[in-house]
């Protein structure tokens, strides 16, 4: 009887040793996803740090938005599949160890176009292409320092071959450079992917503060 108990203890201990390293073994296999949704949020860029805002007002010299493209279905399906290698648990589901799945978009961003619905000034009329009047930066950098700004074409180029570890979300902030002279502002944003599909959305109607 004692021998049987010892054998059980040894087997239990051995299985625990197998589980412990397995729980934090992250899957490095590259997954693929497709952007199927675009969201636009207002950004409060009036202070030291830029942050998302639900207000429909912005200072005339601080008009900014966050653009996010993501796969609303693929990532969640991919991340919910547990990986069971044998009767004993060799590898637990990666999410339990806070592992990030490496993902790559099937089709990357190739261009962005921003049009204004309202005139911005006497020189910039309603319907004008104002893409060149915006600069951008990654959503991960919330500092308001001018040195971190990039041109929008530069941000778009960085999405080609990009590996995502944040759930397959491509997000960046855009900032209008000239001051808005009108009392309202609203923009149409078109983003083209490498398969020539186009995401188009409209920002909220913004009331300009002076």
DSSP letter for each residue of 64-88: EEEEEEE-TTHHHHHHT-----SSS
- Note whether residue 123 is domain-resident: yes
Q: The domain spanning residue 70 has which CATH number? A: 2.60.40.10
Domain coverage including residue 82: 12-18+21-209
Query: Which of residues 202 and 87 earns the better pLDDT score?
Result: 202
Output the six-digit token pair for 132: 């060149």
One DSSP character per residue, 22-52 reads HHT----PPEEE---EEEEEEEE-SSSB-EE
Using DSSP, state whether 142 is helix, strand or coil.
coil
pLDDT band at 147 (very low <50, low <70, confident <90, very high): low
State how far the Cα of 74 lies from the Cα of 152, in Å rounded to an integer.
27
Q: Which of 104-108, 132-136, 165-169, 201-205 has the lowest mean pLDDT?
A: 165-169
If you count DSSP H runs as helices and E runs as strands, how many of each does the chain have, helices first?
Answer: 3, 15
* Domains: count for the chain: 1
Higher pLDDT, 103 or 197: 197
Q: How far apart are CA 184 and CA 191, in angstroms?
A: 23
Q: How many whole angstroms separate alpha carbon 176 and alpha carbon 159?
A: 22
Q: Is residue 1 part of a domain?
A: no
Output the pTM of the full model: 0.74
66 in a domain, yes or no?
yes
Q: Which helix (H) or strand (E) holds 187?
A: strand 187-193
Quote the CA–CA distance of 42 and 94 in Å, as a whole number.
34
Convert the pLDDT of each residue in 179-200 to its tens digit. Answer: 999 999 999 999 999 999 999 9
């Amino acid at each position: 009887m004692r021998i049987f108990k010892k054998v059980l203890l040894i087997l239990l201990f051995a299985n625990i040793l197998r589980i412990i390293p397995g729980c934090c073994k992250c899957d490095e296999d590259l997954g693929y996803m497709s952007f199927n949704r675009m969201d636009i949020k207002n950004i409060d860029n009036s202070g030291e740090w830029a942050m998302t805002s639900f207000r429909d007002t912005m200072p005339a010299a601080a008009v900014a938005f966050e653009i996010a493209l993501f796969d609303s279905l693929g990532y969640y399906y991919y991340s919910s599949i547990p990986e069971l290698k044998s009767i004993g648990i060799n590898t637990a589901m990666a999410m339990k160890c806070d592992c990030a799945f490496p993902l790559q978009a099937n089709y990357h961003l190739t261009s962005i176009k921003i049009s204004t619905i309202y005139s911005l000034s006497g020189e910039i009329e309603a319907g004008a292409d104002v893409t060149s009047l915006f600069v951008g930066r990654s959503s991960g950098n919330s500092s308001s320092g001018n040195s971190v700004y990039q041109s929008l074409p530069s941000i778009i180029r960085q999405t080609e071959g990009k590996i995502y570890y944040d759930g397959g979300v491509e997000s960046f902030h855009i900032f209008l450079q000239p001051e808005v002279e009108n009392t309202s502002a609203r923009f149409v944003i078109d983003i083209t992917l490498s398969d020539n599909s186009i995401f188009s959305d409209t920002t909220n109607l913004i009331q300009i503060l002076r």
